[in-house]
Amino acid sequence: MSMMNDKFVISIGRQLGSGGHLIGEKLASQMGIALYDKELIQIASKESGLGKQFFEKVDEKASHSFIGGLLGLRTNIGNEIYVNNYLCNETFFKIQSDVIRKLSDERSCVFVGRCADYILRDNPRCVNIFITADKEDRVKRVARDLQLSDEKAAEKIEKMDKKRAEYYNFYSNKVWGVAGSYHLCVNSSVLGIDETVTFIRGFIDKKLGLPEHR
């Protein structure tokens, strides 16, 4: 148990193009711990024996929209019995969250997205951070990273934000991107990526009582 107290987890929620993933990467490498973003899919697939493509399809997607419900077809006519449709979004969420809990039990690490803050809500050594950025910066970053025009990037941002919000709100019982859902919310445009990392690092050290770095 004493070992467990040394471990900690950083959960990063982020708007698309806010630099959240990059900030997570820098935090992880500075603190010498692992970072899990898309890697979770690979691990969840391996743990469960289910194909990677299924996790990719439902990655950070909620399942409760009407069309989703219709296509999810959870029940049969003559509804006495609730049908356990094995390949449904809820199953994948459960598998993925088990993986997140297992990883956080084994080592200190950074999780990007996927409701890690909710999944690890009972872990007192989990720091929950949300990264935003100014609209222009986000569009610029997405356009550059994904090789899109500015208009297309703006469209993509709107779509992804909506998707992530639906996913987060459905599974976590909290509201995506709202200050009350996290310990710390930062706009990365204000200080720039590197300074934001340093700032967040200071917050994490204080919260967890880690020795101040440098």
Does 78 bind another protein (CB under 8 A)? Our answer is yes
Does 190 bind another protein (CB under 8 A)? Our answer is no
- Our CA angle for 46, 108, 161, nearest 5°, is 70
Q: Which is nearer to another protein, 33 or 88 (CB)?
A: 88
# chain residues binding another protein, by CB under 8 A: 38
145-164: which residues touch another protein (CB under 8 A)?
Answer: none
Q: How many CB atoms lie within 10 A of CB 184?
A: 15
Distance CA 194, CA 25 (A): 11
Does 54 bind another protein (CB under 8 A)? Our answer is yes
CB of 69 to another protein, least distance (A): 4
Number of H helices, E strands in the chain: 11, 5
Is the Cβ–Cβ distance between 101 and 119 less than 8 Å?
A: yes
Comparing CA positions, the residue from 113, 150, 119 lying closest to residue 20 is 113
Stretch 101-130: interaction string toward another protein, x if CB under 8 A:
-----------------xx-----------
**H or E stretch covering 14:** strand 9-14
> Which member of 11, 15, 18, 97 binds another protein (CB under 8 A)?
97
- Give CA separation, 134 vs 14, 68, 187, in Å: 12, 32, 7
> Which member of 8, 111, 171, 182 binds another protein (CB under 8 A)?
171
> Which member of 65, 124, 178, 213 binds another protein (CB under 8 A)?
65
Does 56 bind another protein (CB under 8 A)? Our answer is no
> Which member of 76, 145, 146, 178 binds another protein (CB under 8 A)?
76
> Which member of 2, 5, 32, 82 binds another protein (CB under 8 A)?
82
Binding segment (CB under 8 A) for another protein, from list 20-28, 142-150, 168-176, 186-194 = 168-176
Tokens of 44: 């969840």
- Give CA separation, 63 vs 68, 72, 91, 120, 167, in Å: 6, 8, 11, 21, 8
Residues that bind another protein (CB under 8 A): 48-51, 54, 64-66, 69-88, 90, 93-94, 97, 118-119, 169-171, 173
